[in-house]
């Protein structure tokens, strides 16, 4: 389930940033047709940085006791007896 959500989140992020990139590049044209439109890439990367900062701020609001209840509990492994070589 976690991997599927991660894949969907990545696809949605690429779709949003591509939409921003195309929207800005349509409205902002350069002087000559051979010049790359870097303004659209700058805006898309600024939006990505803003989303990352917002996600980090949200992640900082999670308290340890709240997150601790969601972690799986590992049972201690049983003690194994020492191996004794068998004489032949």
Q: What is the DSSP string of 47-72?
A: HHHHHHHHHHHHHTT--HHHHHTTSP
User: DSSP 3-state assignment of 12?
Assistant: helix
| CA triple 34-39-40, angle to 5 deg | 95
Domain count, the chain: 1
Domain assignment present for 21: yes
Domain assignment present for 42: yes
pLDDT in tens, the chain (88 residues): 668 888 998 999 999 999 988 888 776 665 666 666 788 889 999 999 999 999 999 988 877 777 777 777 776 665 566 666 666 6
For residue 14, what are the domain limits? 9-29+36-55
Nearest of 12, 17, 6 to residue 50 by alpha carbon: 17
pTM of full prediction above 0.85: no
Domain assignment present for 80: no
């Amino acid at each position: 389930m976690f991997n599927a959500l991660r894949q969907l989140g990545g696809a949605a992020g690429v779709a949003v940033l591509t939409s921003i990139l195309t929207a800005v590049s349509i409205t902002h044209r350069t002087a000559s047709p051979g010049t790359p439109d870097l303004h659209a890439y700058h805006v898309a990367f600024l939006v990505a940085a803003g989303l990352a900062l917002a996600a980090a701020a949200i992640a900082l609001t999670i308290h340890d006791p709240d997150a601790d209840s969601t972690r799986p509990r590992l049972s201690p492994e049983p003690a194994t007896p020492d191996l004794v070589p068998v004489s032949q």
